[in-house]
Structure 1
Amino acid sequence: MKSIYTCGVCPKKPCAKGEGNFPKNCPTIEKRDIVEQSVAIYKQDEMVHKIMNFANTLPKKENGELRSRAEEIIEFIKQMGFKTIGVAFCYSTSKEAKQFVKLLEQYDLKIVPVCCKVGSIDIEDIDIQKDKEGFVATCNPITQAEIMNQENTELNVVIGLCVGHDILFNKYSKGLVTTLVAKDRKYAHCPVKGLELVNV
């Protein structure tokens, strides 16, 4: 089965240049109603407008130097005026989570870090079969999200949650969510490396 839109294989990306001449089956044309609805939201929803405005300024510092993703997230928090920040991290990225929390602690923020093993639940207790003997702690993304919901976090930062667990965390989180580290066990948490091997 093929892609329903041409975005993935479009070589010229006229949508990024404002030149028109869109290819056949381009969502810019096919879904014009959705495009127009989105423009209205960007303009009318105050929070959405702030996010879009700040996102446009985040990549570079005032001196023109590029920011790291961690720096972008912190700058975003400052510009949005957020005060309560969740950090949802995987047990295997505890070191990275500790480093990020230390960065956040430099600012006047309430920080809510929660490890994926929170609750100390044996995986059999949620009816999943073990692959080894003894206690096997399950990851617990729903509890991570619900703790942050209870603390009224305004932004939750994901660090290294597994595929699937990150999906559940995003589903149950009431606060906004961004990802600092996307887990990739094979490529040292750099998923784009796996794409470089694809011959296109």
Structure 2
Amino acid sequence: MQKGEGYGIIFLINIVYSIQEVNKMKAIYTCGICPKKPCAKGEANFPKNCPTVERRDIVEQSVAIYKQDEMVHKIMNFANTLPKKKNGELRSRTEEIIEFIKQMGFKTIGVAFCYSTSKEAKQFVKLLEQYDLKIVPVCCKVGSIDIEDIDIQKDKEGFVATCNPITQAEIMNQENTELNVVIGLCVGHDILFNKYSKGLVTTLVAKDRKYAHCPVKGLEAVKV
């Protein structure tokens, strides 16, 4: 083997290794890149690695739950009617959530909101007050806990109130909320809130600081 050939082989090995690593990171199902979505049309020409085919066991288990669990069936039924009003006009997400609350017959509603979206939370609470509901709004700064008290380093001097999603969830659990509506919780804090909430959870406002709480714009701005 000549001197240059050894470097060439090493280079090729590195390329193969890099390709293998990239392949490891690919999506395991083709849903994200499937152009035709036959699952939505009742067609049978499913692509390779389609979960409709590959995970038929889970599909069948889910169908049984939809049919047998009364609460699940009720939610699925009402979710199907929410997008449009009787006159055909589309509902906003705010209107959908309120209509869902009414149709489900819920009486105790939690509102978990970020300090930075206090204005939006106030507007939503006022809307809910028009109905015969027990409303449990809790701001993320509840407890007035300095961030150092949970062993997180400050980035500035003075009191820095930490967000407190676990307390938000536990207060709502104590009040037996049936549905908790999230307004602008930070990524991470929303995850913890969902983890600890015993009540059902839906999101009214997904925080996006850069794009005025419209995450879709962030997707459109990223070049793949």
Residues 145-169 of structure 1 show CA distances to partners (whole Å, capped at 9, x for unaligned) of 0000000000000000000000000
CA distance in 1, matches of 2:220, 2:150: 37
CA distance in 1, matches of 2:167, 2:222: 37
TM-score by length of structure 2 reads 0.89
* Unmatched tracts of structure 1, length 5 or more: none
Quote the residue 1:194 is aligned against: 218
Residues 139-190 of structure 1 show CA distances to partners (whole Å, capped at 9, x for unaligned) of 0000000000000000000000000000000000000000000000000000
1:38, distance to aligned residue in structure 2 (A):
0.1
CA distance in 2, matches of 1:2, 1:103: 44
CA distance in 1, matches of 2:139, 2:219: 29
CA distance in 2, matches of 1:110, 1:130: 37
CA distance in 2, matches of 1:166, 1:104: 22
Select which of 129, 142, 158 maps to 2:182. 158
Quote the residue 2:116 is aligned against: 92
Residues 52-109 of structure 1 show CA distances to partners (whole Å, capped at 9, x for unaligned) of 0000000011111111100000000000000000000000000000000000000000
CA distance in 1, matches of 2:165, 2:221: 31
CA distance in 2, matches of 1:171, 1:6: 28
CA distance in 2, matches of 1:169, 1:133: 28
Q: How does 1:25-104 map to 2 (within 5 A)?
A: 25-104=49-128
1:196, distance to aligned residue in structure 2 (A):
1.0
Larger radius of gyration: 2
CA distance in 1, matches of 2:143, 2:171: 11
Could you tell which deviates more after superposition, 59-68 or 83-92?
Answer: 59-68
3-state secondary structure, aligned to 2:109:
strand
CA distance in 2, matches of 1:54, 1:20: 28
1:198, distance to aligned residue in structure 2 (A):
3.3
CA distance in 1, matches of 2:171, 2:221: 39
1:197, distance to aligned residue in structure 2 (A):
2.0
Aligned pairs, number: 200
CA distance in 1, matches of 2:75, 2:168: 24
CA distance in 2, matches of 1:150, 1:126: 23
3-state secondary structure, aligned to 1:113:
strand
CA distance in 2, matches of 1:73, 1:28: 29
CA distance in 2, matches of 1:13, 1:84: 39
Identity of aligned residues (%): 95
CA distance in 2, matches of 1:20, 1:100: 44
* Unmatched tracts of structure 2, length 5 or more: 1-24
3-state secondary structure, aligned to 2:66:
helix
CA distance in 1, matches of 2:97, 2:179: 10
CA distance in 1, matches of 2:100, 2:119: 23
The higher-RCO structure (CA 8 Å, 6+ apart) is 1
CA distance in 1, matches of 2:151, 2:137: 27
1:199, distance to aligned residue in structure 2 (A):
4.1
1:40, distance to aligned residue in structure 2 (A):
0.2
